[in-house]
Amino acid sequence: MRRSNSRIILASTLLLSVLLPGAVAAELSPVIKTELANSKYIYIATTRKNGSLGKPAEIWFLYHNGAVYVASPPTTWRVRRIKAGRPQAKIAVGKPDGPSFMVTGAVVTEPDVYAVLFETYAKKYGGDWTRYENSFRGGLKDGSRVLIKYTPKDS
């Protein structure tokens, strides 16, 4: 019975990955995971209407449970492009030409992640965080900022 259940789970996972590309998150390389743990910034290039990638934008981030989170005003190109159905993006770590990987972005509501994001930002960005803390906290509460979750995908 156990062997049969394992086969069903494996077959279901494989079927999902074929039917819903990007539904099963890709595993990041150890090098990229290390860079994410040690870097202060990521650079996100989002997908334009013509399919090309826009200019990479430097942004604060949280790497948590295999995903990259950022909090942005809903007027930014990264949010507008996700809402327009173009969630694919490229994230470079540490510098615009640093190690990179492809992701699928989604605007999410995950209040449990907010606390982790705030704590991480306070440690990672120190004095700058104290200047922007109210903007992030209040913004996620009143909608002037949204939380974006970038999930790594197979290239």
**Residue 98 within any structural domain of the chain:** yes
CATH of the domain at 54: 2.30.110.10
Distance CA 85, CA 75 (A): 15
List beta partners, residue 108.
147
**Residue 40 within any structural domain of the chain:** yes
Domain that holds residue 80: 26-152
Which pLDDT does position 20 carry in this prediction? 44
Rounded to two decimals, the pTM is 0.82
**Residue 6 within any structural domain of the chain:** no
Read off the pLDDT of residues 65-91 as tens digits, 9 standing for 90 and up: 999 999 999 999 999 999 999 999 999
Lowest mean pLDDT among 1-5, 51-55, 100-104: 1-5
**Residue 10 within any structural domain of the chain:** no
- The answer for residues whose C-beta is within 8 angstroms of residue 89's C-beta and 6 or more apart is 44, 45, 46, 47, 53, 78, 81, 102, 103, 104, 105, 150
Which pLDDT does position 1 carry in this prediction? 46
User: What would the mean pLDDT of 45-57 be, rounded to a whole number?
Assistant: 96
**Residue 131 within any structural domain of the chain:** yes
Which pLDDT does position 25 carry in this prediction? 61
**Residue 17 within any structural domain of the chain:** no
**Residue 2 within any structural domain of the chain:** no
Residue 7: which pLDDT band, with cuts at 50, 70 and 90?
Answer: very low
Number of domains in the chain: 1
User: What would the mean pLDDT of 92-116 be, rounded to a whole number?
Assistant: 96
Q: How many beta carbons lie within 10 A of that of residue 32, not counting itself?
A: 19
**Residue 15 within any structural domain of the chain:** no
Lowest mean pLDDT among 5-9, 120-124, 144-148: 5-9
